[in-house]
């Protein structure tokens, strides 16, 4: 029996964060998820999510733009297509739209979720099989206040939820940022790993000075210290310091990974399904990095449960994942739109075992938080 894609709905969902989350380019008080519901002729529905950070401040696609691209171009291109052939559906999307990787990632997830439900297997099985079902997860300290960050880290260590902490810096003067990081590392000592993410905020000369001090303070990893376009500068920093340099904004596609490998522009690659255009493309990017001897890290766009668990299925199937993941998005959000939120314990995220993503929508919550829903208290 042929199974066709019937309808695709893209829904903007606004969820509050548990506290302000400060990054170099934006302060988040809420997160906007773009949720995709893809319905097929056999009655099966697939879920997907495209989420970015700070509207257009971080990436090149905004939540509203992602919805527009899906509604206007991508959903019509998929209507009537074979729902069981994910690669063919993705090829069709590439025919009608260049780029738009976040939107394509959400659609790919929804197709894989539907196909997994149809076959009774998890998404990780569809992409080759999980080599791990527990994924180490770090937590980002980004309240903007050093003492509060230390308290937060202590509580999470105590609860055995996280033992690696990523500090978002690049918003303030370098001296203030370095002092902030050094105080946190000193307070946590050998009990936790501390990494920093600069989100491209420094120039190369400033980065060289700052990294020397961060390295001396015991920081374990430096993420995207300078603009993504300055790969030569990243290569010079990677050669100069022992502390590993991680590429995030600089690596979206397999071709980016190849350029980074050729130049030696990073020691570690941050992978994300959204910036890659889906799990399958993320896996290709990972393969290039892996072949070049770079370590891999499972990154987040601070997605909710659907996007985070989709990422988890993809990362679970990578042969090597030396730096673990940062799939903590659902924990940063005050509420959830799935009925069975992801489980975190013993410093790891548990991969759901059910078919597809292994998630069930909470229709009432979705109704409550969707932007176009009935007006009411939020
Ligand atoms: C980024 O650039 O890595 C991931 C964790 C976090 O707090 O922000 C993001 C984005
Ligand atoms: Mg980053």
- H helices of the chain, in order, are 63-69, 75-78, 86-96, 101-119, 123-126, 146-158, 174-188, 204-216, 231-240, 254-263, 273-276, 279-291, 305-316, 329-332, 363-369
- Residue 311's nearest CA partner among 160, 167, 114, 113 is 113
* Calpha distance 93→278 (Å, rounded): 12
pLDDT tens for the chain, 378 residues long, are 799 999 999 999 999 999 999 999 999 999 999 999 999 999 999 999 999 999 999 999 999 999 999 999 999 999 999 999 999 999 999 999 999 999 999 999 999 999 999 999 999 999 999 999 999 999 999 998 999 999 999 999 999 999 999 999 999 999 999 999 999 999 999 999 999 999 999 999 999 999 999 999 999 999 999 999 999 999 999 999 999 999 999 999 999 999 999 999 999 999 999 999 999 999 999 999 999 999 999 999 999 999 999 999 999 999 999 999 999 999 999 999 999 999 999 999 999 999 999 999 999 999 999 999 876 555
**Mutation pick for ligand 1 pocket among 299, 303, 325, 331 (CB with most ligand atoms within 8 Å):** 299
Burial class (CB in 10 A: 0-12, 13-18, 19+), 323: buried
CA dihedral for 163, 168, 172, 175, sign (positive or negative): positive
State the residue for tokens 């075992």: 353
DSSP designation for 311: H
pTM for this model (two decimals): 0.98
* The CATH homologous superfamily of the domain defined by 126-350: Enolase-like C-terminal domain (3.20.20.120)
Residue with tokens 């430096």: 222
Q: What are the angstrom distances between the C-alpha of 127 and each of 25, 123, 210, 271, 286?
A: 34, 7, 40, 16, 13
Q: Return the C-alpha torsion angle 18, 20, 25, 30, nearest 10.
A: 50
Ligand 1 pocket by Cβ (under 6 Å): 23, 53, 140, 142, 168, 197, 199, 248, 299-300, 302, 326
Atom from ligand 1 closest to the CA of residue 142: 7
Which one of 54, 199, 249 would you pick to mutate in the ligand 1 pocket, going by the greatest count of ligand atoms within 8 A of its CB?
Answer: 199
Residue with tokens 């695709």: 8
Query: What is the full DSSP assignment across 189-241?
Result: GGGSEEEEE-TT-S-HHHHHHHHHHHHHTT--EEE--S-TT-HHHHHHHHHH-
Strand order in the sheet with 5-22: 5-22, 27-40, 45-51
Distances (CA, A) of 351 to 118, 211, 280, 358: 19, 35, 18, 9
Angstrom distances, CA of residue 173 to CA of 208, 210, 251, 277? 15, 11, 26, 35
Architecture of the domain defined by 4-120+362-369: 2-Layer Sandwich (3.30)
Q: Which ligand is nearest to the CA of 143?
A: 1
Spatial separation of the C-alpha atoms in residues 248 and 236, rounded to whole Å: 17
The full set of domain ranges for the chain reads 4-120+362-369, 126-350
Q: What angle do CA 100, 41, 365 make, to 5 degrees?
A: 65
Rounded alpha-carbon distances, angstroms, from residue 378 to 14, 29, 344, 356: 9, 13, 26, 31
């Amino acid at each position: 029996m042929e199974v066709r894609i019937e309808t695709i709905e893209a829904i903007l969902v606004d969820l509050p964060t548990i506290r302000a989350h400060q990054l170099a380019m934006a302060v988040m008080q809420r997160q906007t998820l773009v949720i995709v519901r893809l319905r097929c002729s056999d009655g099966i529905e697939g879920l997907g999510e495209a989420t970015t950070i700070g509207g257009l401040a971080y990436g090149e696609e905004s939540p509203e733009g992602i919805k527009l691209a899906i509604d206007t171009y991508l959903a019509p291109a998929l209507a009537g297509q074979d729902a069981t052939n994910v690669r063919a559906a993705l090829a069709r999307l590439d025919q009608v739209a260049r780029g738009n990787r976040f939107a394509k990632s959400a659609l790919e997830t929804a197709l894989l979720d539907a196909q997994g439900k149809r076959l009774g297997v998890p998404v990780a099985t569809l992409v080759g099989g999980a080599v791990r079902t527990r994924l180490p997860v770090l937590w980002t300290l980004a309240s903007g206040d050093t003492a509060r960050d230390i308290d937060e880290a202590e509580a999470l260590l105590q609860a055995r939820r996280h033992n690696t902490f990523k500090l978002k810096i690049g918003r303030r003067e370098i001296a203030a940022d370095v002092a902030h990081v050094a105080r946190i590392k000193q307070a946590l000592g050998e009990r936790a790993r501390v990494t920093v993410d600069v989100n491209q905020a420094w120039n190369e000369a400033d980065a060289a000075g700052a990294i020397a001090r961060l390295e001396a303070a015991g920081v374990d990893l430096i993420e995207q210290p300078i603009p993504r376009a300055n790969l030569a500068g990243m290569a010079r920093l990677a050669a100069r310091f022992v502390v590993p340099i991680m590429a995030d904004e600089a690596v979206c596609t397999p071709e980016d990974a190849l350029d980074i490998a050729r130049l030696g522009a990073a020691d570690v690659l941050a992978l994300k399904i959204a910036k890659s255009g889906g799990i399958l493309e993320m896996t290709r990017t990972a393969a290039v990095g892996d072949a070049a001897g770079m370590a891999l890290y499972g990154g987040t766009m601070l997605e909710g449960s659907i996007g985070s668990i989709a990422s988890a299925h993809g990362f679970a199937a990578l042969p090597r994942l030396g730096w673990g993941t940062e799939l903590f998005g659902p924990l940063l959000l005050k509420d959830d739109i799935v009925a069975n939120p992801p489980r975190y314990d013993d410093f790891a995220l548990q991969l759901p075992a059910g078919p597809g993503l292994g998630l069930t929508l909470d229709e009432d919550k979705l109704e409550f938080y969707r932007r176009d829903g009935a007006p009411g208290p939020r």
